[in-house]
Amino acid sequence: MGKLVADQLVEMLADAGIKRIYAVTGDSLNHLNDAVRRDGRIQWVHVRHEEAGAFAAGAEAQLNGLACCAGSSGPGHVHLINGLYDAHRSGAPVIAIASTCASNEFGSDYFQETNTIKLFADCSHYNQVACTPEQAPRMLQAALQHAVHKKGVTVLGLPGDVAAAGAVSISTSLKLYHTSPVLRPAEAELQQLANLLQGAEKVAIYCGLGATGAHDDVMTLATLLKAPVSYSFRAKMGIAYDNPNDVGMTGLLGLASAYKSMHEADVVLLLGTDFPYTPFMPEKTKIIQIDKQPERLGRRASLEMGLCGDIGPTLQALLPMILEKKDRNFLDTMTDFHQEVEQKLQTYVEDRGKEEAVSPEYVASVVNRLASPDAVFTVDTGMTNVWTARYITATGKRTLLGSFNHGSMANAMPQAIGAALCQPDREIYALCGDGGLTMLLGDLMTIRQYNLPVKVIVFNNRSLGMVKLEMEVAGLPDWQTDMINPDFAAVAAAMGFTTFTIREPDETESTLVKACKASGPVLVNIFTNPSSLAMPPKIEFEQMKGYALWMGKLILGGRFDDVLDAVKSNYKHIKDVL
């Protein structure tokens, strides 16, 4: 048998650095699957759901720079979409191979036929269907270039008959080309920026993911300007360590100190970030934004200056233009306030909870202490995000992955699959909500099938906690947010996991120590307090009014016990409001 198109594409993927394809094989994918087997350089990871495969590929791409997933005709395509949306919005270079029915059946309403170009149009940089053997390698090369250099998802539609056809030589390239351009503003723009920063009495710096590769340059600039430094959730692991000017995060998951520093500054410098969103932006402060994607400039706030550049080269060119300031009153005031806020957060750790209502803050703090300095954490959307944001600390070596832009449930466990496969020498913690875990529960078997040493920590609060909070602050009685869960430890044990259950605060640390020492797949089911809430860094009057209205409606509806539990669990928030 001569070389098939499937063989040609697998060779190209392997040469480009693809190590794994996450997929559920079947019909139109089978020739690609067999080509992977024959080539031997790529691992076919058999996930139980294509969505999990796309999440896993997104995690691997964020850690290693490029990854691949696949889905077969119709339902396989649709199952990929949520994970691909997340990868695309996260800037993760992912190649998705969407195998289709035979090309001669297009447009005939054939079994499992989908229009992949329409289907993936909103979550990809490149999205084409190869209808001839000549098109397939050319399109894959274009897909690889787009994924790596535009940072996102690309899709190659691959009909089964094309994959099975004989490969042909083409005159264009089959290789992936890596480039490293230097992108920074012009000299005149940099000098104008330096003048603005030099002339401001109080400067605050806010960093996003784009600034994490320039940690030392950010710290040098902050030292010269005597500027407090805050950051987004995605940037925390890359900016919070070795940061004497640290004032924490802002946004819904953030702290009052970061919010205060930005609102009391004369100038706020946004570095490599498309966050915080408008409600957290100061309205009367001069704002300067630097981003390598100029289309993002000014879409969160009105700007004094908007500059295009990578943060590292930009700051390296800017720093010689900055003279060191002497007055550190603003910086000291903000960092002192940050220390007060951090101390308040310890209140939640010290109050460890009670039976079947263990404080989730305490749980997160224990995980933080036990995890290795270079651990990878994947975190579910919702309240688990809050506990992670506030209690998992940066070391300069840790990595944090989540669905921070797409905001999908169910991301943490499948992202941990990708992380464990591509970073086998690091500890992997999947910090899961019970709602998120149950969505893709079957892919616990993928962890077991490949014997991945993932620690699945379940914050089991028996509810959709963040949705419940959203309803409460809107003054609505929480409705259909409670959950009846299976015994997660028993389910995971049946799948071959080492499992633990924690119901009492006193069991927490000793049990988590055992879990951390256990080899292979581990799941810890922790009964956390469903009434634990998270207040944003600034409490608006409407939120307080809505919360009071919610309590009143519950009381009138005969749910006084729920109100009492909420008050008892969250009396500590009084400190945040005052």
558: pLDDT strictly greater than 90: no
Tokens representing residue 555 in the block: 């009381």
Residue 325 to residues 197, 285, 541, Cα–Cα distance (Å) = 10, 20, 38
Q: What pLDDT was estimated at residue 404? A: 94
Q: What pLDDT was estimated at residue 551? A: 44
CA distance 176 to 404: 29
Go through 118-141 and write b for each residue having 16 or more CB atoms within 10 A of its CB, e for each that does not: ebbeebbbbbbbbbebbbbbbbbb
541: pLDDT strictly greater than 50: no
Sheet holding 246-249, edge to edge: 246-249, 229-231, 203-207, 267-271, 286-291, 305-308
Tokens representing residue 238 in the block: 């890359």
CA distance 337 to 539: 17
Q: How much of the chain, in percent, has pLDDT values that exceed 70?
A: 89
CA distance 385 to 469: 13
- Residue 30: which residues within 8 A CB-CB, separation 6 or more? 160
Tokens representing residue 500 in the block: 């633990």
Q: Residue 263, Cα to own-chain centre: how many angstroms?
A: 27
Q: What pLDDT was estimated at residue 110? A: 84
**DSSP characters for 59-106?**
HHHHHHS-EEEEE-TTHHHHHHHHHHHHHHHTT--EEEEEEES-GGGT
CA quadruple 230, 234, 240, 241: dihedral, nearest 10: -160
111: pLDDT strictly greater than 80: yes
Q: How confident is the model at residue 542 (pLDDT cuts 50, 70, 90)?
A: low
Do strands 67-71 and 94-100 pair parallel, antiparallel, or not at all (unpaired)? parallel
Q: What residues pair up with 523 in beta bridges, in sequence order?
A: 456, 499
Per the document, the length of the chain is 578
**Mind spelling out the 3-state secondary structure of 324-392?**
CCCCCHHHHHHHHHHHHHHHHHHHHHHCCEECCEECHHHHHHHHHHHCCCCCEEEECCCHHHHHHHHHC
Mean of pLDDT values over 24-45: 96
SS3 content of the chain, % helix, strand, coil (to 5): 50, 15, 35
Nearest Cα to Cα of residue 393 among 502, 492, 249: 249
Mean of pLDDT values over 503-531: 96
Q: How confident is the model at residue 559 (pLDDT cuts 50, 70, 90)?
A: very low
Q: What pLDDT was estimated at residue 279? A: 83
The pLDDT tens digits of the residues spanning 315-354 come to 999 999 999 999 999 999 999 999 998 988 888 889 899 9
DSSP 463: B
Q: How confident is the model at residue 483 (pLDDT cuts 50, 70, 90)?
A: confident
CA distance 256 to 535: 10
The pLDDT tens digits of the residues spanning 122-143 come to 999 999 999 999 999 999 999 9
Q: What pLDDT was estimated at residue 466? A: 60
Q: Is 406 left (phi over 0), alpha (psi -120 to 50) or beta?
A: alpha
pTM exceeds 0.85: yes
Q: What pLDDT was estimated at residue 472? A: 58
Q: Tell me which of 546 and 182 has the higher pLDDT.
A: 182
Q: How confident is the model at residue 576 (pLDDT cuts 50, 70, 90)?
A: very low
CA distance 391 to 387: 6
Which stretch of DSSP H or E encloses residue 565?
A: helix 560-570
Q: Residue 405, Cα to own-chain centre: how many angstroms?
A: 7
71-80, 162-171, 249-258, 387-396: least confident range: 249-258
Q: Is 251 left (phi over 0), alpha (psi -120 to 50) or beta?
A: left
Strands, E assignment, 403-507: 428-433, 454-460, 498-502
CA distance 414 to 410: 8
Nearest Cα to Cα of residue 165 among 366, 330, 2: 2
Nearest Cα to Cα of residue 501 among 521, 522, 527, 520: 527
